[in-house]
Structure 1
Amino acid sequence: MLLYFEGLSSLTYFGRIVDSACITIRDFTMMTDFIFSGVNLAVTTPFNAKGKIDYARFEELIEQYLAAGVHGFVLSSGTGMHVYLSKEESKELVAFGAKIINGRARVIAQTSALLADEVVERTRHARDCGVDGVMVLPPFFEGPTDDQGIIDFYSTVSEAGVPIIGYNVPQAVGVKVTPSLFKLLCQIPNFVSVKDSSGDLTAQTALVRTGVPTLNGADPLAPFALFAGAAGLIWGGANMAPKTCVALAKAAAERRWDNVQEIWQSLAPVMSLIWQSDYVQSVYAGAEIMGYGAGNPRRPLARLAEDKFGALRDALAPLIEREASTL
């Protein structure tokens, strides 16, 4: 079957992708029993004019995204400015968000921190707030990079007793989750998955082939990752077009690949654009254009430069009508 996807490559044979991943369409199944399947929205954190968290707006956004059908929320995500929130702000945000969502969608809290003890503290707090899982970066900023050091770290976090999603983003933290390490990590109690944001489809399909649920975190790879067997999506770009992103995930779960292709043609231009640079600023700006505004990112990040707004609006143009009409 010949499929055309803008934004990643010109002509792509799914059969060729399948061959490289050593699986076949017959073997491919969506892991619908996996608790974190579908679209898990790495939701933006709204800020007011003084740079403080705008909780009233956050509640409004949550309701908008629930109405759009998102399956889960990642609170204090990277897109939600986790690294620029204090520990107390992050904990308060998780408690507030979990209370508002109140079981209407899954809740994942990012509890990453430099100190292992702080990660455990944040994770226990998230557990007590009733989250369904936590997302945790491996040790970073001169932390251990050997497999045993990573295993020991996640073993410590597992003591909090909540499902853990690891985070593979080697370009940012210098630690690569390989298939062999992934298998070892999944022997740790409560370690259930990894979010792969490497942006490397070949590397991600290698994780998928372990048989352990793998979550795609690279926006431009969404349909390809689902076809290759990713169990779900953690998606920051979905802040801009949640209905369309949910429709894509639903079509993929039902193996309606022609529909996936058609939907992706609307999403691909913007998902490719925002991945190239200024990701968080672009998501905030694009969400505002599409009616899901969260204010400006928090300093030191600034509002997207004006000379980049035109290209972003152009990339979003195919989504405006679709997003308004998608149920």
Structure 2
Amino acid sequence: MITYLKGSLVALITPMNEYGAIDQISLNKLINYHIESGTTAIVIAGTTGEISTLTHEEYYKLVTWSIEISEGRIPIISGISTNSTNEAILIAKRFNDSGVMGYLIVTPYFNCPNQKGLFYHFKAIAENSDLPQILYNVPIRTGCDILPSTVARLANIKNIVGIKDATGDLKRVNQIQELVSDNFILLSGDDESALDFMQLGGKGVISVTANVAAKEIAKICTLVARGSLAEARCLNKKLIPLHRNLFYETNPIPIKWACKVVGLIEKDTLRLPMTSLKKSGRLILKKALLHAGLI
């Protein structure tokens, strides 16, 4: 099993200055914060990283800068988010020898392929890259659900090594585990159910909450792996309001505001069509941060 694909992986925000440009100083601060906090790996340019509003040039720069800042101290996994198989292949080829340690590839959105289309989409990308690839299933955002039977077929392709399941449906853990080998990695993509997901056999979480609570999420993952479930639940209880309210508005609106409040970034700038967190959300999220002991 690939060691960096377990425990706490952060779905990193993309910090931006007041003009909307990527903030390299804050990016450096964030990456070092995760290295110091025990995060296992960093997922760059995923949903939380606002990949949908980055230009191709910005996306490539963001991944390159992250690799340079990390200096090999923490694995960098790059998000691939496109509904075009050919474009996904071009991206995968571009980063093959860059220092990226793997890809998190979301199901095609908007065109919503059937299960046959999903299989051949991911298969084609895998055939054009030797890097480990993680399937990313988040139907609420893409309108497209990759079913366990299709996951099982894809798991037979050697460099498709796991799945980030963000359905929040804990039944999926057993449904997928029954169909794949023990080496296939199941990662939660839903912070609120992640502890239960891991208890059922998942190897970790690609976490939004870890953006502001990196040490806490890393410790929870370690405790679960160790079998110290009561201690893990006690720590997770402090984070439950945060897990929930980081989705008070569409991700990453709340988490960017939270990162600014705890001092990890200078500005909580978002790009249209995303707009700043509403006042009501700020009040709720501040209570959640206080409950977690983060402010």
TM-score bracket, shorter-length normalisation = over 0.9
After superposition, what is the alpha-carbon deviation per residue over 1:107-163, rounded to whole angstroms, capped at 9, x for unaligned?
110022132121111112222221111011122211422x22111111110112211
- In 1, Cα distance between equivalents of 2:92 and 2:255: 27
**Structure 1 counterpart of 2:117:** 149
Give yes or no for contact 1:166–1:191 (8 Å, CA) kept in 2.
yes
> Is 1:224 equivalent to 2:192 in the alignment?
no
Q: Distance in 1 between matches of 2:250 and 2:266?
A: 16
Corresponding letter in the other structure for 1:140: Y
User: 1:102: how far off?
Assistant: 2.1
User: TM-score scaled to structure 2, two decimals?
Assistant: 0.93
1:312 is aligned to 2:281: no
Alignment RMSD, CA only?
Answer: 1.7
Contact 1:284 1:294 in 2 (8 A): no
Q: Distance in 2 between matches of 1:49 and 1:119?
A: 31
Secondary structure at the aligned position of 1:279 is classed as: coil
Normalised TM-score (structure 1): 0.84
Aligned length: 290
In structure 1, the partner of 2:166 is 197
1:87 and 1:199 map into 2 onto residues whose CA distance is 30
Give CA deviations for 1:7-47 in whole Å, capped at 9, x if unaligned.
xxxxxxxxxxxxxxxxxxxxxxxx7x544001111111010
Q: Is the 8 A contact 1:44 1:239 kept in 2?
A: yes
Report which stretch shifted further, 177-186 or 272-281: 272-281
Larger Rg belongs to? 1
1:162-181 CA-to-partner distances (Å, cap 9, x unmatched) read 11101111222222222211
1:174 correspondence with 2:147:
no
Measured in 1, the distance between the counterparts of 2:24 and 2:246 equals: 26
Q: Quick check: 1:109 aligned with 2:78?
A: yes
Distance 1:259 1:68 in 2: 19
Matching residue within 236, 245, 259 for 2:208: 236
| CA distance in 1: counterparts of 2:212 and 2:8, whole angstroms | 13
What SS is found at the alignment partner of 2:157? coil
Aligned pairs (5 A) from 1:19-34:
34=3
Structure-1 residue corresponding to 2:222? 250
* Corresponding letter in the other structure for 1:43: L
Aligned match for 1:123, one of 92, 95, 120? 92
Misfit runs of 4+, over 4 Å: none
Secondary structure class of the residue paired with 1:189: coil
| 1:37 pairs with 2:27 | no
Unmatched segments (≥5 aa) in structure 1: 1-30
Once residues 168 and 251 of structure 2 are traced to their aligned partners in structure 1, the CA distance between those partners, rounded to angstroms, is: 13
Once the two structures are TM-superposed, the CA of residue 241 in structure 1 deviates from its matched residue by: 0.9
Matches within 5 A, 1:85-96: 85-96=54-65
